[in-house]
Amino acid sequence: MSLNVKDYIRTIVDFPHEGIMFRDVTTLFADARGFRIAIDQLLAPYAGARIDKVVGLEARGFILGGAVAHQLSTGFVPIRKKGKLPGAVISQAYQLEYGEAVVEVHDDALKPGERVLIVDDLLATGGTAAAGISLCERLGAQVVGCAFVIDLPDLGGRKLLEGLGHEVHALTAFEGD
């Protein structure tokens, strides 16, 4: 039997609170074969393209993005929650379901004209990814794609990012949440 990425993802009911179907990628990461499949599929659309840096969104995007950057033989740049990076940073606020969050990147992490691939585990509303795109573009980089393991299409993130003019690549989708 041939397994796909979705087969390695565990669903935890009512986490972090009642009514949420949490898609847990740690089971994917823990399985060598599943992890290899995910990394290979994440980078496949970009093989042969010029990618100067892979940008990973905190926190699971660091795991995926680091592996993708390694396979593409390029550098890796983390986008972190506010207050986690040393040195000079630029910040971008974005809306959460209840409130606001801020992500940051070092102000010298990307150079004007660099072509970047944004990587994360999950695309839900798209707020974090849109904030990451904004940070990259403010530094003069060109976002050539956004790659995710999971898309939750009912939450509108893909539509948001595509509406901003960005290509979205997701390995699997879970409807309804």
Choose, from 23, 60, 80, 158, the residue flagged as catalytic: 60
Question: Does the annotation mark 115 as catalytic?
Answer: no
Choose, from 18, 97, 100, 175, the residue flagged as catalytic: 97
Distance CA 131, CA 148 (A): 15
Question: Does the annotation mark 97 as catalytic?
Answer: yes
- The sign of the CA dihedral 140, 142, 148, 153 is positive
Give me the active site residues, please.
Answer: 60, 97
